[in-house]
């Protein structure tokens, strides 16, 4: 039986940044729990001491890692726990925490996912269009099935059923991942019109593209506190994750201070 699309995948991935992440762990400065770094979010400080998200975890200098949800981060910010944790992590360096840091983190994760989807599209690993997705899914050639937050229940049901047929998962209730991004956000990310559903190509012998996409999906879904299995509304055009999250340039901010 093939790996269901919503489960984390373990695979040898060609990209150095992801393969390095898969073999190391970091401790969340707020919860104290240790997890694989590819499931956490890195924070770093700019030259003027501003704390900013480093979604790609590539910025130079000291970093601090968080594995909490947006709601938990907002609470830690209000109660002062975040500032204390960051002061410890950055060894007392002068820093400024923006009031909208939780929103900045979610936007950075959304842009990071958008960047990843764009790269996979250019590499030929993304399947678009409901009819094509259904055909590929029934043939067992779709490793990950993703739906916009404002996709219809009927549209999701049809593609989910095709995916279960193609992955020998009939009767399991397995479904594609509903993203905390609407169709406008996905269309912006991929440079295509009206992207409501998308599939990531793959098969049991090659799940590398699926692993790369799921790493970005899982971080965003966890941070947003999004269930990932049901859209928030039948036509949820006002749901979190609209196209505004994908604006503002790359997910990684380059100007960080070095140790």
From CA 103, how far away is CA 110, in angstroms rounded? Answer: 11
The predicted structure's pLDDT at residue 203? 80
- Per residue in 106-152, pLDDT (tens digit) is 999 999 999 999 999 999 999 999 999 999 999 999 999 999 999 99
3-state secondary structure the chain: CCCCCCCCCCCCCCCHHHHHHHCCEEECCCCCCEEEHHHCEEEEECCCCEEEEECCCCCCCCCEEECCCHHHHHHHHHHCHHHHHHHHHCCCCCCECCCCHHHHHHHHHHHHHHHHHHHHHHCCCEEECHHHHHHHHHCCCEEEEEECCCCCHHHHHHHHHHHHHHCCCCCCCCCCEECCCCHHHHHHHHCCCCCCEEEEECECCECHHHHHHHHHHHHHHHHHCCCCCCCCCCCCCCCCCCHHHHCCCCCCCCCCCCC
Which residue ranges form the domains of the chain, and what is each CATH number? 16-102 (3.30.1230.10), 108-246 (3.30.1330.30)
What is the band of 12 on the pLDDT scale with cuts at 50, 70, 90? very low
- Grouping H, G, I as helix, E, B as strand and the rest as coil, residue 58 is coil
Write the CA distances from 111 to 128, 204, 248, integer angstroms: 19, 28, 9
From CA 65, how far away is CA 37, in angstroms rounded? Answer: 8
The DSSP bridge pattern shows strands 64-66 and 51-54 to be unpaired
The one-character DSSP state at 141 is -
User: What count of Cα atoms within 13 Å lies in the side-chain half-sphere of residue 243?
Assistant: 12
- Per residue in 56-100, pLDDT (tens digit) is 999 998 899 999 999 999 999 999 999 999 999 999 899 999 999
Residue 53 predicted with pLDDT over 80 = yes
**Helices and strands counted in the chain (H then E):** 8, 9
Length of the chain (residues): 259
The predicted structure's pLDDT at residue 248? 52
The predicted structure's pLDDT at residue 19? 43
The predicted structure's pLDDT at residue 244? 63
User: Considering the chain, what is the average pLDDT of its residues?
Assistant: 84
Compare 220 and 254 and report the one with higher pLDDT: 220
Query: 176 with 145: CB under 8 angstroms?
Result: yes
The predicted structure's pLDDT at residue 133? 98
Mean pLDDT confidence for 169-173: 93
* pTM for the structure as a whole: 0.81
Compare 233 and 240 and report the one with higher pLDDT: 240
Mean pLDDT confidence for 233-246: 44
The predicted structure's pLDDT at residue 204? 76
- Grouping H, G, I as helix, E, B as strand and the rest as coil, residue 146 is strand
The one-character DSSP state at 247 is -
Residue 251 predicted with pLDDT over 60 = no
User: What is the share, in percent, of the chain residues with pLDDT greater than 70?
Assistant: 78
């Amino acid at each position: 039986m093939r790996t269901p699309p919503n489960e984390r995948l373990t695979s040898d991935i060609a990209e150095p940044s992801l393969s390095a992440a898969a073999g190391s762990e970091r401790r969340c400065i707020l919860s104290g729990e240790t997890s694989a770094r590819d499931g956490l979010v890195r924070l770093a400080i700019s030259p003027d001491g501003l704390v900013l998200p480093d979604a790609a975890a590539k910025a130079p200098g000291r970093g601090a890692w968080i594995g909490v949800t947006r709601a938990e981060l907002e609470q830690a910010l209000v109660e002062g726990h975040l500032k204390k944790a960051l002061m410890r992590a950055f060894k007392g360096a002068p820093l400024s925490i923006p009031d909208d840091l939780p929103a900045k983190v979610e936007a950075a994760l959304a842009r990071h996912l958008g960047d990843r989807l764009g790269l996979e599209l250019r590499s030929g690993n993304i399947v678009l269009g409901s009819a094509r997705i259904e055909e590929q899914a029934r043939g067992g050639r779709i490793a990950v099935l993703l739906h916009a937050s404002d996709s219809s229940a009927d549209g999701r049901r049809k593609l989910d059923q095709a995916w279960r047929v193609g992955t020998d998962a009939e009767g399991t209730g397995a479904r594609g991942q509903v993203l905390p991004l609407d169709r406008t956000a996905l269309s912006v990310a991929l440079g295509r019109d009206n992207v409501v559903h998308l599939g990531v190509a793959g098969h049991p012998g090659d799940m590398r593209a699926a692993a790369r996409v799921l790493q970005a999906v899982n971080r965003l879904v966890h941070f947003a506190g999004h269930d990932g299995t049901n859209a928030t509304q039948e036509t949820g055009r006002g749901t979190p994750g609209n196209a505004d999250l994908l604006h503002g340039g790359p997910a990684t901010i380059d100007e960080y201070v070095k140790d």
